[in-house]
Amino acid sequence: MTPAARHRLALILLWVTPALWSSNYLIARVADGRIAPHQLALGRWTLACALLLPWVGRTLWQQRAVLRAEAGRTLVLGALGMWICGAIVYMGGQGTTPVNIALIYAASPVAIALLDTRLSGQRMALTQRVGLICALAGVLLVISKGQPLSLLSVRPNPGDGWIALAAVSWTAYSLLLARWRSALAPLPRLAAIAAGGVVVLLPFTLLEAVLTPTPALGPQAWGLIVLAALLPGVFSYGAYALMMRELGPARSALVLYLAPLYGALLSWLLLGQPPQAYHAAGAALILPAIWLATRKPAPPAIGRPATDTSR
């Protein structure tokens, strides 16, 4: 695939990936009482590894020297992306509300964009800054159901701390995934990181089984594992890895702003709950903002050096 084709694919995935991630909210909601958080996360990423292995196994064997060299970083990324942003999110979802989760995660794209520009020594383009502000305003409008002042009455819940930890972890995962360049292609690297996540998850899953009562694994639990491994697992993380490589952390993180809109569409299709006027108002802010934040900046005038850069 040519570089131009990869870039076009990354831009398309920017709009598709949030739909895959939004399914994880429904999975987390249904999982409560059917499967323990660490069991679900471990099953999700173990199955993901098994599904990826036929496609990338030969490549990983041929590049086993690279795997050994990158083992430490792979474990760190697995802990951040598969343990904390997996099992810990499922734990937090049992003790807080969807509104609180969305509010906490809304800070992640802002943090990723600011830290990425600071660490790279670049300045965020004006279109990126405007797009970031508009997208944040749009997602807050959707979360507040068209009444932004109602956000002032939101009260912390026991699970908010876990969700905040997951939001920080996702910020770190996104930045490190982009900055720790790998000799592996996105799909083999995802398989390696998922395997690292399984290694980290295993002892915590055993500890969870010993210390807490866990429900027996029935057909519904296995179905949730399969769905979690495919939709918010292999497909979404693989797409995100490609976007990170082609678009950079700041732009790729914008997919989090689309999640509330996609969640509303999923509720309409699956639960028969039609979108409201505030969804349209939020979309009117978020969708143009994504376009602004991802478009290429205009070339500098002849004879004058560029001052703003955009990844």
- Confidence at residue 307, expressed as pLDDT on a 0 to 100 scale: 41
Position 270 pLDDT exceeds 80: no
pLDDT mean over 133-139: 86
pTM for this structure?
0.83
- Confidence at residue 309, expressed as pLDDT on a 0 to 100 scale: 38
- Confidence at residue 27, expressed as pLDDT on a 0 to 100 scale: 84
Domain ranges (residues) in the chain: 3-289
Concatenate the DSSP letters of all residues of 197-214 into one string: HHHHHHHHHHHHHHHS--
| CA atoms lying within 13 Å on the CB side of residue 303 | 0
Better-scored residue on pLDDT, 42 or 15: 42
The residue with tokens 């850069």 is 309
30, 266 Cβ separation under 8 angstroms: no
Burial letters 294-311, b for 16+ CB under 10 A, else e = beeeeeeeeeeeeeeebb
Better-scored residue on pLDDT, 132 or 242: 242
Query: Predicted confidence band at 308 (pLDDT cuts at 50, 70, 90)?
Result: very low
DSSP state of 254: T
- Confidence at residue 99, expressed as pLDDT on a 0 to 100 scale: 60
Which amino acid type is present at position 65? A
Strand partners, 186: none
pLDDT digits (tens, 9 = 90+) for 48-103: 999 999 999 999 999 999 999 999 999 999 999 999 999 998 998 777 766 667 67
Mean model confidence pLDDT for the chain:
85
CA-based nearest residue to 73, from 152, 148, 181: 181
- Confidence at residue 168, expressed as pLDDT on a 0 to 100 scale: 94
pLDDT mean over 264-278: 76
84, 95 Cβ separation under 8 angstroms: no
Question: Of 118-122, 178-182, 268-272, which has the strongest mean pLDDT?
Answer: 178-182
**Backbone phi, psi, residue 157, to 5°:** -125, 165
Percent of the chain whose predicted confidence (pLDDT) is above 70: 92
Concatenate the DSSP letters of all residues of 224-236 into one string: HHHHHHIIIIIIH
pLDDT digits (tens, 9 = 90+) for 86-97: 999 899 877 776
pLDDT digits (tens, 9 = 90+) for 214-269: 888 999 999 999 999 999 999 999 999 999 989 888 888 888 888 777 777 776 77
CA separation for the pair 105, 171 (Å, rounded) = 10
Neighbours of 67 (CB within 10 A): 18
pLDDT mean over 105-132: 82
CA separation for the pair 295, 269 (Å, rounded) = 31
241, 190 Cβ separation under 8 angstroms: yes
Query: Predicted confidence band at 304 (pLDDT cuts at 50, 70, 90)?
Result: very low
Which amino acid type is present at position 281? A
Position 183 pLDDT exceeds 90: yes
| CA atoms lying within 13 Å on the CB side of residue 246 | 24
DSSP 3-state of 124:
strand
